Structure 1
Amino acid sequence: MNDMHQNRSLPFLFALLISLSAFPAFAQQISYDHVDSKDVHAIFMDYDETTGGCVIGIADHGELIFSNGYGMANLEYGIPLESDSRLMIASISKQFAAAAMLMMEQEGVLDLDENLQTYIPEIPDFDEPITARQLIHHTSGLRDLFSLLHLKDLGLDPTTTTEDALELIRNQQRLNFRPNTNHVYSNSGYVLMSVLTENLTGMTLREYTDKHFFKPLGMNATHFHDDLEMIVPKRTDSYRPTDNGPGRFYRDNIDRVGARGLFTTIEDFALWDANFIDNRTNLDQFTERMTEKGVHNNGRSHSYAAGLRIGTYRGLETVGHGGNYMGFRSSYMRFPEYELGIMVFCNMSDINPAAHARQLADLYLMEFFEETFSEFAGRYRNEGFAREYDLLIEDGDLYLKKSSRDKERLIWQNGDLFSAGGWTLEFTREDESITGFTVETSRTGKITFNRL
């Protein structure tokens, strides 16, 4: 294990302006000296030599400052998970397929707003044409491939072929909605990206991404797994719980990649994360293009960019994605304001990597959260109930102290709004200063507590 803790359209232009204004021009510097590797290890203590587990990485301004593996890559042979273990990262693969679409547009071989039938003649005649841009942003209306497989009682096992999957996409007669009027996650569009790449470049998606992204970045342990007989060094198996303990899960059967199918390591992925700071790929304006939000026909943007979700966590802007496919579960979460990247790649179907990523964010950004929540800390009283509550900050979190032994963590929602169990707390201000809060439960109206 490796422990390195020292270390042509108006919507298009509109979306670009949004993406450029979404993130600060200069990232803030912050020290992570307060983070003890023991605290990181404690988050993953449940994963050992009897279980699958996770490989994690923390990148600070493009430098991998911590990486480690917890649990096993292969339970049969007793091989532990390590920083160079190769895992299939499920839907996090989508950002690489989306990057390929943007690269083909840059090369002039793909018009993102052209009727998709121009490039894939097998696409059905829908009432309105769909486009590659809509595939990227999940706004085409195509029905989801994996849901269709389930409805047709076709499993994700060796009896289901690539042709079975493509036939389901080709046979769709109707869309879920008019193109670019809604956003519904669909793996079908990302599977079609591999077909687009071959039809327009004569290269597989694997070859194309290797040429324009992986080789320039030195991501030598990363590839789209479109050769089902290929030997992958340091490959990780995936598992699921059974009555007899962990059972093997992932099977190679569908070689159409794009929606999933990327094998990589934490060490390689850290190079991808660094590219959002210093672009070394062939795609110009990499960060701006990758974080460009989709825009509906009505001019309203949504949170999905190029295989990446743009969001917030505890008041900070985030960029990332999750993945879940046959026991491989993954989470990528980066904070542009601090250029902090958090990667959690797991190989057990009952692990929640997104929850672990948030735990790591809470740990590494503790000082920021403490400073953010400091204005809320203090004592508050309701005279009618003759009741006082203390709000405390502990380890970067805000707590409502109900008694000497009972306290509840406040979960930030937005602005001055928090939740705690079944309670909703909203702070009140006067001249920007906190003057109190209102608390509301499912069976009460708002009750006011004033700050002492």
Structure 2
Amino acid sequence: MKRQFFLLFLLSFTLTSYGQIKESKAIDSLFLEWNKPETPGCAIGIVKDGELIYSNGYGIADLEHDIEITPSSVFYIGSVSKQFVTFSILLLEEQGKLDLDDRIQKYLPDFPDYNSNLTIRNFIHHTSGVRDYLTLMYLKGRNYLDNADVDEVYELIKKQKELNFIPGDKYLYSNSCYFMLAMIIEKAAGQSLKDFAHENIFQPLGMKNSLFYDDNTDLIKNRVFSYEKKNNEDGFNNLIMRFDLVGSGGVYSSIEDLFLWDQNFYNNKLGKGGQTIIDKMHEEGLLNNGESSGYAFALNNGTYKGLKTVSHGGALAGYRAQLMRFPDEKFSVIVLANRGDANPTAKSFQIADILLKERFVEKSENKEIKTEKPKDITSLEKFNLNQLVGNYEIQAGMVLEITLKNDSVNVLQTWNKSSYNITNTTGNTYEILNDNSIQFVFSELKDDYTQTLTVFQNGNETICKRKKQLDLSSLNMEDYTGNYYSEELDVSYLLFMEEGTLKVKVANNDPLELKLYDIDAFTSDGNLVRFNRVNGIVRGFELDAGRVTNLKFEKK
């Protein structure tokens, strides 16, 4: 009886929807697990031929006050904000107030030179090599949910003695670049990014509930709050965010407002009007070798099942966002979520699967990927499951751990603890159940174990080599203990042994385990620590942490 009542209660929890389409039930079914009382969820918007043909809210925007999510709810959209930054830059270029090839020091004269030609264009396309400030703050022991002063963050970025790489040599995402682009906009425009975007983008398009939020004391009507699932128990934690830096993120918006922004890509009403500025938004940056960086003006050009896509996602605290456009179909999906376990990109593709299935190219992207596999992979005899088990390295510090669980092949992404089973489809090819977007192909049998795992995804091929076991007979873990100081972060790390395990403590945070990766090299939380010795004695280490590389620490 109790269970029956609960079901009736769930069924009585109504959806707030705008517009009806025949596929609405199929779309709503994708979000059933979120459309419950006391459960965060998301808002969606589906655009076709210039109309918001379906929009809906699922779950709760404010768990403390039981406020439901609607298409009018205002979410933090994370890095989706970056396209408003690049559009502002292009508007200023149109006004003759800056040039994309201007050196950064023209607007920020105190920024280090690094003996390199750093330009606005480098910053836009993430080809600068400037270390990511969110990563630096994390490595410093700071919580990204806390308030951080603009001057404090800028000083931290300037304090870095080197770049990750020579500008233009590589693509590596850096929030520092967009944080400083906001500063450059302020210098060139003579007003804050918040005011410039309001006057030149949000207000002209009628985006009444959108803004760059640069003061966390300001009120936002209809604001959605963000949450994360509690560990090992029911319920959610409130991720209280006082973060108010703009440029790298900072925009609050709604489904209804982002629909207006989406439509401006088809018929630009901003600046001088016309599509020239829109065409520029889609141009990908070039590396020094002439190849594409793969990143346009805060837009990612791609394909899905043979259809062209233009998209960008966003994430901070428990907010998750995706704005995905299929321009040739004049079709877009907007998903804004307020729970940290949400995957708006996957949900967007699922919605597209429902509404665009008749438009997908017959020879799907996945089939094309399979035909591109090297012959020595596709022709191999099938291996038994025990021969697959082991660790396969994507890059230093990033390992796919393959194990058997209940006679199934399990993949653990050691850098983020994501775990999932994969099933055999043909030969030595495996896929995630009900998801054929990624293929895992095992090859090169040696000493009764496969030596190579090749991952195919979105037309890309990643080759992962089996990681060899180490000879640890001469290793003394006490060599690594002690205090280590980084001048660039102005922080000390304490390394100590606890119950036979090497651990690191940063500021007031809980200690993290350092896992042995190689001789004089350890990994922790997806980061790589490389110790250096002088005359056999450990003198310091260098830290690689994704968007920050070669960060130096000296043993005190």
Q: Of the candidates 15, 23, 30, which is equivalent to residue 36 of structure 1?
A: 23
In the alignment, is the contact (CA less than 8 A) between 1:5 and 1:37 conserved in 2?
A: no
Matches within 5 A, 1:238-249: 238-243=226-231, 245-249=235-239
* CA distance in structure 2 between the partners assigned to 1:257 and 1:332 by the alignment: 19
Instruction: Say whether 1:169 aligns with 2:157.
Output: yes
Aligned residue number for residue 345 of structure 1: 336
Aligned residue number for residue 369 of structure 1: 360
Task: Give the letter aligned to residue 84 of structure 1.
Answer: S
Instruction: Say whether 1:259 aligns with 2:284.
Output: no
Inter-CA distance 443–408: structure 2 relative to 1 (3 Å threshold): farther
Aligned residue number for residue 204 of structure 2: 216
Instruction: Say whether 1:149 aligns with 2:137.
Output: yes
In the TM superposition, structure 1's runs of 4+ consecutive aligned residues that sit over 4 Å from their partners are: 370-373, 407-410, 421-424
Instruction: Say whether 1:326 aligns with 2:317.
Output: yes
Inter-CA distance 164–338: structure 2 relative to 1 (3 Å threshold): same
Secondary structure of 1:367's partner? coil
Q: Which runs of 5+ in 2 are unaligned?
A: 1-14, 368-380, 382-424, 444-449, 453-556
Secondary structure of 1:317's partner? strand
Question: Taking structure 1 as the reference length, what is the TM-score of the superposition?
Answer: 0.76
State the shift of 1:242 in Å: 1.6
Q: Which has the higher contact order (CA 8 A, sep 6+)?
A: 1
Instruction: Say whether 1:82 aligns with 2:107.
Output: no
Secondary structure of 2:229's partner? strand
* CA distance in structure 2 between the partners assigned to 1:134 and 1:2 by the alignment: 43
Task: Give the letter aligned to residue 350 of structure 1.
Answer: D
Instruction: Say whether 1:3 aligns with 2:17.
Output: yes
State the shift of 1:302 in Å: 2.7
In the alignment, is the contact (CA less than 8 A) between 2:227 and 2:237 conserved in 1?
A: yes
Aligned residue number for residue 186 of structure 2: 198
Aligned pair count reads: 367
In the alignment, is the contact (CA less than 8 A) between 1:128 and 1:178 conserved in 2?
A: yes
Q: Which of the pair is proportionally richer in strand?
A: 2
Task: Give the letter aligned to residue 236 of structure 2.
Answer: P
* CA distance in structure 2 between the partners assigned to 1:206 and 1:134 by the alignment: 23
Inter-CA distance 250–311: structure 2 relative to 1 (3 Å threshold): farther
Secondary structure of 2:32's partner? coil
Secondary structure of 1:323's partner? strand
State the shift of 1:112 in Å: 1.1
Matches within 5 A, 1:17-56: 35-47=22-34, 48-56=36-44
Secondary structure of 1:267's partner? helix
- C-alpha RMSD of matched pairs (Å): 2.6
Aligned residue number for residue 305 of structure 1: 296
Q: Which runs of 5+ in 1 are unaligned?
A: 8-34, 377-384, 386-399, 414-418, 425-441, 445-452
Inter-CA distance 412–49: structure 2 relative to 1 (3 Å threshold): closer
State the shift of 1:184 in Å: 0.2
Matches within 5 A, 1:388-407: none
State the shift of 1:277 in Å: 0.8
State the shift of 1:423 in Å: 8.8
* CA distance in structure 2 between the partners assigned to 1:214 and 1:157 by the alignment: 26
* CA distance in structure 2 between the partners assigned to 1:322 and 1:341 by the alignment: 13
Aligned residue number for residue 280 of structure 1: 269
State the shift of 1:104 in Å: 1.0
Secondary structure of 1:247's partner? strand
Deviations 1:86-142 (A, max 9, x none): 000001000001111111111111111111101111211211021111111001110
Inter-CA distance 250–320: structure 2 relative to 1 (3 Å threshold): farther
In the alignment, is the contact (CA less than 8 A) between 2:23 and 2:355 conserved in 1?
A: no
Secondary structure of 1:345's partner? strand
* CA distance in structure 2 between the partners assigned to 1:295 and 1:219 by the alignment: 33
In the alignment, is the contact (CA less than 8 A) between 1:6 and 1:66 conserved in 2?
A: yes
Aligned residue number for residue 97 of structure 1: 85
* CA distance in structure 1 between the partners assigned to 2:337 and 2:107 by the alignment: 36
Inter-CA distance 154–66: structure 2 relative to 1 (3 Å threshold): same
Instruction: Say whether 1:236 aligns with 2:213.
Output: no
Secondary structure of 1:198's partner? helix
* CA distance in structure 2 between the partners assigned to 1:340 and 1:60 by the alignment: 5
Secondary structure of 2:17's partner? coil
In the alignment, is the contact (CA less than 8 A) between 1:59 and 1:342 conserved in 2?
A: yes
Name the larger-Rg structure. 2
* CA distance in structure 1 between the partners assigned to 2:280 and 2:71 by the alignment: 29
Deviations 1:162-183 (A, max 9, x none): 3322211121221111111110
Q: Of the candidates 183, 196, 219, which is equivalent to residue 171 of structure 2?
A: 183
Instruction: Say whether 1:359 aligns with 2:350.
Output: yes
Task: Give the letter aligned to residue 185 of structure 1.
Answer: Y
State the shift of 1:288 in Å: 0.2
Task: Give the letter aligned to residue 246 of structure 1.
Answer: F
Question: Taking structure 2 as the reference length, what is the TM-score of the superposition?
Answer: 0.62
Instruction: Say whether 1:411 aligns with 2:436.
Output: yes
* CA distance in structure 1 between the partners assigned to 2:105 and 2:287 by the alignment: 21
* CA distance in structure 1 between the partners assigned to 2:266 and 2:63 by the alignment: 37
State the shift of 1:198 in Å: 1.4
Aligned residue number for residue 268 of structure 1: 257
State the shift of 1:157 in Å: 3.5
